[in-house]
Homo-oligomer: A and B are copies of this chain.
Amino acid sequence: MRRIASVLISVATMTGVAALMSPAFGNADEAAPPWVTEKPAGYRDWKWISSAHEEGNLNSLGAVLGNPVAVKAFRAGTIPFPDGTMIAALHYSAVPSDENNKIFGKAQSIVPGPPTNVQFMIKDSKKYGATGGWGFGHFNANGKPVDAAFMKPCFACHAQFKAQDLVFTQYAP
């Protein structure tokens, strides 16, 4: 009951979503679990875990950063990650660097362009017990979090990485 109340409080903070998720419009069992609705302070100062380039439709280039708890766990190979772990994935449009390509004499350099979104994974085994202990978050370039429907697939997809405690990224030494 306390969990359901907490879900509703979390959902009620998002304009327009409250009505959609209200028990009057659906089954309480289908209520979305809590997710991350505020960006953790200071995440841009966290340490670098790794980079990734996603081609195709995503066309994304960025970096994964971690707070001190995350960095310690990544470096030690600690699985599962302990409570307090916070991981940020900073995404940008992947764009060619005309400046670099001119120097290299060929089109080979791809760099971060305009920011697209920032995603978070925050470990709190109690608060986020319904999603493997992880709270997922996604904030568009305008800083706003997305809605419940957008957040729904996060857990199902990450759950496929059970051996890595649901974390896609591996530490770049």
Contacts and interface: CB of A to CB of B under 8 A. Distances in A.
B55 A110 contact: yes
A160 to B, nearest CB: 6
B48 A63 contact: yes
A107 to B, nearest CB: 8
Given A47-B47, A112-B172, A53 B56 contact: no
A127 B10 CA distance: 56
* Copies of this chain assembled into the complex: 2
Interface of A: 45-48, 50-58, 61-63, 65, 90, 92, 94, 97, 99-100, 103-104, 106-112, 115, 157, 160-161, 168, 170, 172-173
Nearest to A102: B160
A154 B53 CA distance: 26
Contacts of A55: 107-110
Given A53-B109, A54-B109, A62-B172, 18 more contacts: A46-B48, A47-B47, A48-B48, A48-B63, A50-B63, A51-B61, A51-B62, A52-B100, A52-B109, A52-B110, A53-B111, A54-B104, A56-B106, A56-B108, A99-B161, A99-B168, A103-B160, A111-B170
Contacts of A61: 51, 53
